[in-house]
């Protein structure tokens, strides 16, 4: 096979994988438009029908790290195809579901399939493309993912209005099978499976802890906040969390290693990404619900208005990558959090103005784009070198879980404040506007938390620059300094713009009177207690 033919086959295989990305992302983003129609058709409350969104995102998010690990063991192509088939079968069941429990169960199984599809797409791109083309492949994947997120509400609105909500799922099944068939034909076979332990116990404990926490959040008002089921589930969540912590500390090959959790900045970066997902899910849930129930708009109109947020994210993603190479993550997060707060506030104050809603969503989308791509890049820098894959899985898991919780909390707040009856397609304008303000307030609170966390990171970065405590850590092969966007610029492996020099604010004498200078946050090259090994001069800052 010639080089041109091999390149063409790689890009054809990528196209088939991107088809799986489109189907999985659209399934996630379009379902919010159908929530009020599902509530009316199946005669359930709004806080119950929101599980149409929550069940898929939570299941996919919780199981994504485990699915990625299974892909490493049995092969990403096999895992991708298995996940696609699971999604197709579950889509048919969801489209034919006679009751809400059956629909929720089908969405859980859909999330199970999607948890296999999404991480395996990225892993397969890494396997197919050489290093000098991998950036183009992953960049195209990111663009398609954002476009699918933007198209989801519009596609869902058109399908719901024209054919009914059930056809959202029935039409997905053949599309998924076509994607699987093309991928089976074009994606090269996996290498032989290897023996390893995927740590199913750890994954189950994590799933139990999250599910037992989210369920009382969504159903607590109906059950009673101090009722036996609510308190029991809270206790189950706490117990599962404690068992998970113990398991991580004692297992030989745990689902998530303690070294990853202790990695400098990993929790903070994951927290920023999780909070921006709360903003995203809160606004993309409350706006279409308000438009349909409060103003009586058609589902297609609600979908078009809501799509202004992911469209803004798509446009912002085109420049966010370049900004991430020029500015530290705390600065970008401060700017992004501020735009998210401005956009959520604009949605809350828009009243009946469609232009105000579109403008607020677009501003919030721009803010989210300034956080999403930079945090995804930063997590690969702060994670231990041998755990970047599982770090990316845990990072994305936190994002999906936070988004599902954000949608559930927003639905609860909207229903409590507005008192809008989901069995009617249009009701009390003033009450619905109050629910819109309250739901947008959830997104605003998450944006304020982003600003606060980014400010803490920025302050920590300034302290690290002035602290003579560490040398910049070196790359594994070239010996060049590794750059962390959480703190001071200490150099960068490979190409790219030349970093600005770090201002050395303190110098002190090392052993035997030698003068040592230090710079760079997150460095690991110095001995504990700040000592310098005898006979060695510290490297430059």
| DSSP code string of 22-42 | HHHHHHHHHHHHHHHHHHHHH
What is the CATH code for 258-475? 1.20.1250.20
* Regions of the chain with pLDDT less than 50: 135, 422-426, 463-483, 488-499, 501-502, 504-541
Residue 368 CA to residue 39 CA, distance in Å, equals: 29
Amino acid 489: pLDDT:
40
Architecture of the 1-186 domain: Up-down Bundle (1.20)
> Is the dihedral angle over the CA atoms 113, 119, 125, 128 positive or is it negative?
negative
Residue 90 CA to residue 112 CA, distance in Å, equals: 10
Amino acid 448: pLDDT:
94
CB 344 within 8 A of CB 364: yes
Q: Point out which residues pair with 509 in neighbouring strands.
A: 515
Amino acid 128: pLDDT:
75
How does pLDDT run across 41-72, given as a tens digit for each residue? 887 877 677 778 878 877 887 778 777 777 77
Cα 406–Cα 408–Cα 410 angle in degrees, nearest 5: 65
Domain spans of the chain, in order of start: 1-186, 200-254, 258-475
């Amino acid at each position: 096979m010639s080089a041109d033919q091999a390149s063409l086959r790689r890009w054809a295989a990528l196209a088939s994988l991107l088809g799986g990305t489109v189907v999985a992302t659209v399934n996630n983003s379009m379902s919010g438009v159908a929530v009020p129609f599902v509530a009316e058709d199946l005669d359930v409350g709004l806080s119950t029908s929101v599980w149409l969104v929550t069940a898929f995102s939570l299941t996919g998010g919780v199981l994504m790290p485990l699915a990625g690990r299974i892909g490493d063991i049995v092969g990403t192509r096999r895992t991708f195809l298995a996940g696609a088939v699971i999604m197709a079968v579950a889509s048919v069941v969801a489209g034919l579901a006679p009751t809400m429990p059956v629909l929720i169960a089908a969405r859980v199984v859909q999330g199970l399939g999607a948890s296999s599809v999404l991480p395996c797409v990225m892993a397969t791109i890494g396997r197919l493309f050489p290093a000098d083309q991998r950036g183009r492949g992953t960049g195209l994947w990111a663009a398609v993912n954002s476009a699918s997120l933007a198209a989801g509400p519009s596609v869902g609105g058109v399908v719901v209005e024209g054919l009914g909500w059930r056809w959202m799922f029935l039409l997905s099944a053949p599309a998924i099978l076509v994607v699987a068939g093309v991928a089976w034909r074009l994606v090269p076979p996996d290498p032989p499976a290897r023996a390893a332990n995927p740590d199913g116990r750890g994954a189950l404990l994590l799933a139990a802890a999250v599910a037992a926490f989210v369920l009382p959040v969504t159903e607590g008002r109906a059950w009673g906040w101090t009722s036996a089921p609510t308190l029991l589930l809270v206790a189950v969540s706490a117990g599962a969390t404690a068992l998970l912590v113990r398991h991580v500390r004692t297992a030989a090959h745990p689902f998530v290693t303690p070294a990853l959790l202790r990695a400098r900045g990993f929790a903070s970066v994951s927290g920023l990404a999780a909070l921006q997902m709360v903003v995203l899910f809160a606004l993309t849930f409350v706006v279409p619900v308000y438009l349909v129930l409060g103003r009586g708009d058609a589902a297609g109109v609600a979908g078009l208005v809501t799509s202004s947020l992911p469209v803004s994210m798509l446009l912002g993603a085109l420049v966010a990558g370049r900004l991430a190479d020029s500015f530290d993550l705390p600065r970008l997060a401060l700017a992004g959090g501020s735009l998210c707060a401005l956009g959520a506030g604009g949605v809350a104050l828009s009243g009946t103005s469609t232009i105000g809603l579109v403008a607020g969503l677009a501003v919030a989308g721009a803010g989210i784009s300034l956080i999403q791509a930079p945090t995804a890049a930063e997590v690969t820098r702060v994670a231990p070198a041998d755990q970047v894959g599982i770090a990316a899985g845990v990072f994305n898991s936190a994002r999906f879980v936070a988004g599902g919780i954000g949608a559930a909390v927003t639905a609860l707040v909207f229903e409590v404040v507005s008192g809008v009856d989901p069995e009617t397609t249009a009701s009390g304008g003033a009450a619905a506007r109050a629910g819109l303000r309250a739901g947008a307030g959830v997104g605003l609170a998450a944006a304020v938390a982003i600003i606060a966390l980014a400010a803490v990171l920025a302050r920590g970065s300034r302290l690290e620059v002035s602290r003579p405590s560490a040398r910049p850590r070196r790359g594994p092969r070239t010996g060049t300094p590794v750059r962390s966007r959480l703190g001071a610029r200490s150099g960068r492996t490979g190409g790219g713009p030349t970093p600005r020099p770090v201002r050395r604010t303190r110098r002190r004498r090392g052993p035997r009177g030698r003068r040592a200078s230090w710079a760079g946050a997150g460095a690991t090259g110095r001995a504990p207690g700040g000592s310098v090994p005898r006979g060695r001069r510290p490297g430059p800052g």
